Structure 1
Amino acid sequence: MVSKLKALIAYLSYSGNTKEVAELIEEQLLEEGFFVEKHRIGIDFPIRPENYDLIFIGTFTWNKGATPDEVKDFVLEIGYKPDNIAVFGTGETQFGGDHLFCLAAVKLAKFYKSKWEPLKIEQSPRGSQEKYVKKWVEEVLQDAKRFA
Structure 2
Amino acid sequence: APPLAAGEADLVLLGCWTDNAGRTPAEMKAWVAGIAERGERPRQLAVFGTGETQWGQEYYCGAVHRLIRYFRSDYPPLEIEQMPHGERHAEAIDAWTDTVLAHYWSNSDADHRRHHA
- For residues 64-118 of structure 1, the C-alpha deviation after alignment (integer angstroms, 9 at most, x for no partner) is 01101110110112224323111111111112x2111101011101110112122
In the alignment, what sits opposite 2:107? 147
1:83 partner SS: coil
| Pairing of 1:20-99 with structure 2 (within 5 A) | 47-79=4-36, 80-95=40-55, 97-99=56-58
* Greater per-residue helix proportion: 2
Query: Equivalents in 1 of 2:28, 2:4: separation in Å?
Result: 13
In the alignment, what sits opposite 1:120? 79
Report the CA distance shift for 1:69/1:108 in structure 2 as closer, same or farther (over 3 A): same
Q: Please say if residues 87 and 109 of structure 1, whose CA atoms lie closer than 8 Å, have aligned partners that are also in contact.
A: yes
Per the TM alignment, residue 47 of structure 1 is displaced from its structure 2 partner at its CA by 4.6
Structure 1 letter corresponding to 2:30: D
TM-score by length of 2: 0.80
Query: Equivalents in 2 of 1:91, 1:143: separation in Å?
Result: 24
Structure 1 letter corresponding to 2:77: P
* Alignment: residue pair count: 103
* Greater per-residue strand proportion: 1
In the alignment, what sits opposite 1:10? none
Bigger radius of gyration, 1 or 2? 2
In the alignment, what sits opposite 1:32? none
User: RMSD of the TM alignment (CA)?
Assistant: 1.5
TM-score by length of 1: 0.64
Q: Percent identity?
A: 37
In the alignment, what sits opposite 2:59? 100
| Structure 1 unaligned blocks of 5 or more | 1-44
Structure 1 letter corresponding to 2:53: T
